[in-house]
Amino acid sequence: MTSIPAKLVIATRESRLALWQAEHVQAKLSALLPNTSVELLKMTTRGDQILDRTLSKVGGKGLFVKELETALLDGRADLAVHSLKDVPVDLQLPFQLACVMEREDPRDAFVSNQYASLADLPEGAVVGTSSLRREAQIRERYPHLEVKPLRGNLDTRLRKLDEGQYAAIILAAAGLKRLGLPERIKSYIEVNDSLPAAGQGALGIEILAERHDVHAILQALNDNTTAACITAERAVSLALGGSCQVPLAAYATLSGDELQIDALVATPDGKQVLRAQTQGPVAQAEQLGVSVAEQLKAAGGAAIIAEFLHV
């Protein structure tokens, strides 16, 4: 039997949302292991520090996990809690995604102090988002709107909206709900109108692959349905290059043993948006993700990806 550690340390970013996520895992582990001390190691990442440029221009979402991974490597932490959409899809040894927790709302949220939805925004209204995925889908449906970059943690983004820098901003519904701010959501953008990022709304726990003791403990927190969907979604993203420089989306749902995966690749200006869908047995989640990615590549996605990765 695997021995239970006397202490577990969780590496986390210091933003309010990241701390909520880490404290959520801390509470779950403390309930599961009453004789184990579960502590937080709070850290600032490069992704938190660089706020004057978009993620696609400074190295992508991996900027949010590197420092936490260093803490795993040097033994300061035993596990790291992430928003799964921030975890690079090409995660490699010595690291391992050990656990995927039950997903919160995967949708994007429309947040505004003046308007009820994207459809209500007048011509030239400024919409803020940090995501090329969101930007492409907004530009496709509402070409009369102006989309501008929006960086910073959730509180910073809301402050910029409240200061009048934007008519509206688009955020992940999950973050607003987790921080007890659902009243800021004017309307939800359904997945058919804004396909989510791979892993959106789900928490992932990263460990060193050699830590079999921690892996065994974390299986009690793993949600099999979410994990299957995430496996398919991340397979899509990996097969398409998993880059922050190209708008990509992937969202899977499970009904019984049947998994459906929808995926998208686009140009940031929204003038080319390619969509694909497939279904199959959940046991083939990864293969289904690769299959839908191949559909997108064949439909012109390969050319879009090649163009933007060589800019």
Please report where in the chains the tokens 């003046």 appear, as a residue. Answer: 114
User: 143 preceded by cis ω (within 30°)?
Assistant: no
| Distances in whole angstroms, Cα of residue 51 to Cα of each of 86, 150, 151, 181 | 16, 9, 6, 23
Catalytic, out of 86, 105, 108, 262: 86
φ, ψ at 169 (rounded to 5°): -130, 155
Residues with Cβ within 8 Å of 295's Cβ and at least 6 positions away in sequence, in order, are 263, 276, 278
Residues with Cβ within 8 Å of 231's Cβ and at least 6 positions away in sequence, in order, are 285, 286, 289
* Residues 251, 99: Cα–Cα separation, whole Å: 19
- DSSP state string for 201-256: T-EEEEEETT-HHHHHHHGGG--HHHHHHHHHHHHHHHHTT--TTS-EEEEEEEET
Q: With CA atoms as reference, report the closest residue to 198 among 138, 297, 286.
A: 286
Residue 108 among the catalytic residues: no
Residues with Cβ within 8 Å of 31's Cβ and at least 6 positions away in sequence, in order, are none
CA distance from start to end of the chain? 53
Element (H, E) at 98: strand 95-100
* Residues 95, 62: Cα–Cα separation, whole Å: 13
Catalytic annotation, residues: 86
